[in-house]
Copies of this chain bind each other. A is one copy, B any other.
């Protein structure tokens, strides 16, 4: 459904046309015919699965070099929209499929990427099913930081780096990711601040004061723990 890194099949995007997205703009509507695949150049996107009655579950956030467009059937089963302004490379799905059919190494790389998506979903399911609101929030902050570190090519186990965190998505988006209400997200952040784990700066940025403490709260071994390397 999304998410990648430096993989063989990405060359289909090498000289692909680019598309610019304004914040909030929808790239893929759930239910659309799945004719295109995308690779993020810049900005942050959000993948979500809409329900029938307006509920939605946000599944992941996408960063530069992530891939989106993976689907089993002929239709996308998820929505993708821009969180910040963004640009994406656009290729026909058929081009990717040809590429994969022709080149076993590319196919293997694609499969490996699919595994990564899968593991992220398992982590999300674990959070949603087993963790409290505050724990989920801690995991979320570490997850965001981890993704930023990866994007920046920095080591993910350096607790001194990247203590200032930009949070470009709305509280509602975070709530829909963590299976909470937006008020609970606000309260949770306030509580983490009271506990000395972070300091809220502006609405969409904060300082992580105690990354080790956040890890303890999150139940280590998940996002951004030194014990766990990507790939």
| Contact surface of A with B, Cβ cutoff 8 Å | 1, 49, 51-53, 55-57, 59, 70-72, 77-78, 101, 104, 107-108, 110-112, 114-119, 121-122, 124-126, 128-130, 176-179, 219-221, 231
CB distance from A223 to the nearest CB of B (A): 14
CB distance from A126 to the nearest CB of B (A): 4
For the complex, what is the distance from the CA of A50 to the CA of B176, rounded to whole Å?
24
Contacts A49-B122, A101-B104, A124-B125 given; does A115 touch B56 at CB 8 Å: no
Asked if B112 and A179 make an inter-chain contact with CB atoms under 8 angstroms apart, the answer reads no
Residues of the B chain whose Cβ atoms lie less than 8 Å from the Cβ of A125:
49, 57, 59, 121, 124-125, 128
Contacts A77-B119, A116-B72 given; does A52 touch B221 at CB 8 Å: yes
* Chain A contact residues: helix, strand, loop or mixed: helix
Residues of the B chain whose Cβ atoms lie less than 8 Å from the Cβ of A104:
101, 104, 107
Asked if A119 and B72 make an inter-chain contact with CB atoms under 8 angstroms apart, the answer reads yes
Residues of the B chain whose Cβ atoms lie less than 8 Å from the Cβ of A55:
130
Q: List 9 A-B contacts (CB under 8 A).
A: A52-B219, A71-B115, A72-B118, A104-B104, A124-B125, A125-B125, A125-B128, A129-B178, A129-B179
Residues of the B chain whose Cβ atoms lie less than 8 Å from the Cβ of A124:
125
Q: What are the nearest 5 A-B pairs in CB distance? A: A129-B179, A72-B115, A128-B128, A121-B121, A57-B126
Q: For A52, A178, A220, which residue has the most chain B Cβ atoms within 10 angstroms? A: A52
Contacts A129-B178, A130-B55 given; does A122 touch B122 at CB 8 Å: no
Contacts A77-B119, A118-B114 given; does A129 touch B57 at CB 8 Å: yes
Residues of the B chain whose Cβ atoms lie less than 8 Å from the Cβ of A176:
129
Asked if B1 and A130 make an inter-chain contact with CB atoms under 8 angstroms apart, the answer reads no
In the complex formed, the residue of B with least CB distance to A118 is B118
Residues of the B chain whose Cβ atoms lie less than 8 Å from the Cβ of A108:
101, 107
Asked if B219 and A130 make an inter-chain contact with CB atoms under 8 angstroms apart, the answer reads no
